[in-house]
Structure 1
Amino acid sequence: MSTAPTAPTLPGSDTGGQHARRFGLPVATALVMGNIIGGGIFLLPASVAPFGTISLVAFGVLTLGALALALVFGRLAHRHPVTGGPYVYAREAFGDFAGFLAAWSYWITTWVSNAALAVAAVGYLDVLVPVHHSTAAALGAALLIQWLPACANLAGTRYVGAVQVVATVLKFVPLLIVAVGGLLFFDSANLGPFRAGDESALGAVSASAAILLFSYLGVESAAVSAGEVRDPRRNVGRATVLGTLAAAGLYLLTMVSVLGTVPHDRLVVSTAPFADSVNLMSGSTWGGAAVACMALVSMLGALNGWTLLSAQTPYAAARDGLFPQVFTVKRRGVPTVGVVVTVVLASLLTVYNYTAGPGGVFEALVLVTTFTATVPYLLSAAAQVYFLLSGRADRVRGARLARDAALALAAFGFSLWLVAGSGYAAVYQGVLFLFAGVLVYAWMAARKRAAAPAGAAVAGGTAEAPGTPVTVNQAPGA
Structure 2
Amino acid sequence: MVLPLSEAMPVAARTTAGKMGRWMAVSLVVGNMIGSGIFLLPAALAPLGWNSALGWVLTIAGGLCLAATFAWLARAMPVAGGPYAYSAAAFGPLTAFLVTWSYWISLWIGNAAIAVAGVSYLGAFVPGLAAMQGGDALAAVVMIWALTLLNLRGARSAGGFQLVTTLIKIVPLVLVLALAGMALGSGEASLPPLPGLGEAGGLQAGLVTAAATLTLWALLGLESATVPADSIADPERNVPFATLVGTAITGLLYLVTCSAIILLMPVEVVANSAAPFADFVARFWAPGPALAIAGFAAISCIGALNGWILVQAELPWAMARDGTFPRWFAATNSAGVPARALVVSSALMTVVMLLNFQSSAAEIFGFLLLIATCTSLFMYLVCMAAALVLRFNGSLASRRWLPPVAALAVLYSAWTIYGAGGEAVAWGLVLLALGLPAFYLFAALARGAADPR
Same fold per superposition (TM over 0.5): yes
Of 262, 284, 287 in structure 2, the residue corresponding to residue 284 of structure 1 is 287
Q: Confirm or deny: 8 A CA contact 1:78 1:233 kept in the other structure.
A: yes
Taking the TM superposition and a 5 Å limit, the aligned residue runs for 1:11-26 are: 11=12, 13-14=14-15, 19=17, 23-24=21-22
SS in 1 for 2:394: coil
Of 242, 257, 269 in structure 1, the residue corresponding to residue 272 of structure 2 is 269
Whole-Å separation in 1 of the counterparts to 2:50 and 2:358? 32
Whole-Å separation in 2 of the counterparts to 1:350 and 1:188? 47
Whole-Å separation in 1 of the counterparts to 2:447 and 2:115? 41
1:98 aligned residue: 95
Q: What is the deviation of 1:148?
A: 2.2
With over 3 angstroms needed to count, the CA separation of the structure-2 counterparts of 1:252 and 1:233, relative to structure 1, is: same
2:347 aligned residue: 340
Q: Which amino acid aligns with 2:37?
A: G
Residues 1:171 and 2:169 are matched in the alignment: yes
Q: Which amino acid aligns with 1:372?
A: T
Residues 1:405 and 2:428 are matched in the alignment: no
With over 3 angstroms needed to count, the CA separation of the structure-2 counterparts of 1:62 and 1:342, relative to structure 1, is: same
1:44 aligned residue: 41
Q: Which amino acid aligns with 2:279?
A: D
SS in 2 for 1:440: helix
Q: What is the deviation of 1:88?
A: 0.5
1:473 aligned residue: none
Residues 1:427 and 2:425 are matched in the alignment: yes
2:416 aligned residue: 418
Q: Confirm or deny: 8 A CA contact 2:28 2:307 kept in the other structure.
A: no
Taking the TM superposition and a 5 Å limit, the aligned residue runs for 1:306-317 are: 306-317=308-319
Identity %: 36
Whole-Å separation in 2 of the counterparts to 1:172 and 1:355? 24
Whole-Å separation in 1 of the counterparts to 2:362 and 2:245? 41
Taking the TM superposition and a 5 Å limit, the aligned residue runs for 1:384-395 are: 384-394=387-397
Whole-Å separation in 2 of the counterparts to 1:363 and 1:265? 23
1:299 aligned residue: 301
Q: Confirm or deny: 8 A CA contact 1:124 1:271 kept in the other structure.
A: no
Residues 1:180 and 2:178 are matched in the alignment: yes
2:384 aligned residue: 381
Q: Which amino acid aligns with 2:102?
A: S
Unpaired runs of 5+ in structure 1?
455-478
Whole-Å separation in 2 of the counterparts to 1:188 and 1:240? 35
Q: Confirm or deny: 8 A CA contact 1:191 1:260 kept in the other structure.
A: no
How far does the alpha carbon of each residue in 1:246-277 deviate from its partner, in whole angstroms, 9 at most, with x for none?
22222222212322455322322333322222
With over 3 angstroms needed to count, the CA separation of the structure-2 counterparts of 1:254 and 1:23, relative to structure 1, is: same
Q: Which amino acid aligns with 1:143?
A: A
How far does the alpha carbon of each residue in 1:29-68 deviate from its partner, in whole angstroms, 9 at most, with x for none?
4443344333432222223335444222121111111111
Taking the TM superposition and a 5 Å limit, the aligned residue runs for 1:81-230 are: 81-121=78-118, 124-125=121-122, 137=131, 140=134, 142-156=136-150, 157-158=152-153, 161=158, 164=162, 167-185=165-183, 187=189, 201-227=204-230
Q: What is the deviation of 1:417?
A: 0.8
Whole-Å separation in 2 of the counterparts to 1:37 and 1:330? 29
Q: Which amino acid aligns with 1:5?
A: S
Q: What is the deviation of 1:190?
A: 8.8
Whole-Å separation in 2 of the counterparts to 1:419 and 1:407? 18
Whole-Å separation in 1 of the counterparts to 2:125 and 2:261? 20
**RMSD over aligned Cα atoms:** 4.0
Residues 1:70 and 2:73 are matched in the alignment: no
Unpaired runs of 5+ in structure 2?
none
Q: Which amino acid aligns with 2:278?
A: A
* TM-score, normalised via structure 2 length: 0.80
Whole-Å separation in 1 of the counterparts to 2:120 and 2:161? 21
SS in 1 for 2:170: helix
SS in 2 for 1:392: coil
Q: Confirm or deny: 8 A CA contact 2:63 2:219 kept in the other structure.
A: yes
1:58 aligned residue: 55
Q: Confirm or deny: 8 A CA contact 1:87 1:102 kept in the other structure.
A: yes
1:437 aligned residue: 435
How far does the alpha carbon of each residue in 1:147-169 deviate from its partner, in whole angstroms, 9 at most, with x for none?
12222145453497486465334
Of 232, 256, 261 in structure 1, the residue corresponding to residue 259 of structure 2 is 256
Instruction: Out of 385-394 and 444-453, give the one that drifted further.
Output: 444-453
* TM-score, normalised via structure 1 length: 0.76
Q: Which amino acid aligns with 2:432?
A: L
Whole-Å separation in 2 of the counterparts to 1:255 and 1:350? 33
With over 3 angstroms needed to count, the CA separation of the structure-2 counterparts of 1:22 and 1:281, relative to structure 1, is: closer
Q: Confirm or deny: 8 A CA contact 2:49 2:262 kept in the other structure.
A: no
Q: Confirm or deny: 8 A CA contact 2:26 2:242 kept in the other structure.
A: yes
Q: Confirm or deny: 8 A CA contact 1:73 1:237 kept in the other structure.
A: yes
Whole-Å separation in 1 of the counterparts to 2:234 and 2:410? 27
Taking the TM superposition and a 5 Å limit, the aligned residue runs for 1:234-245 are: 234-245=237-248
How far does the alpha carbon of each residue in 1:415-464 deviate from its partner, in whole angstroms, 9 at most, with x for none?
1111111112222223223322222223212323444459xxxxxxxxxx
Q: Confirm or deny: 8 A CA contact 1:32 1:240 kept in the other structure.
A: yes
Whole-Å separation in 1 of the counterparts to 2:40 and 2:354? 20
Q: Which amino acid aligns with 1:430?
A: G
Q: Confirm or deny: 8 A CA contact 1:146 1:303 kept in the other structure.
A: no
With over 3 angstroms needed to count, the CA separation of the structure-2 counterparts of 1:83 and 1:272, relative to structure 1, is: same
With over 3 angstroms needed to count, the CA separation of the structure-2 counterparts of 1:45 and 1:438, relative to structure 1, is: farther
Q: What is the deviation of 1:367?
A: 4.4
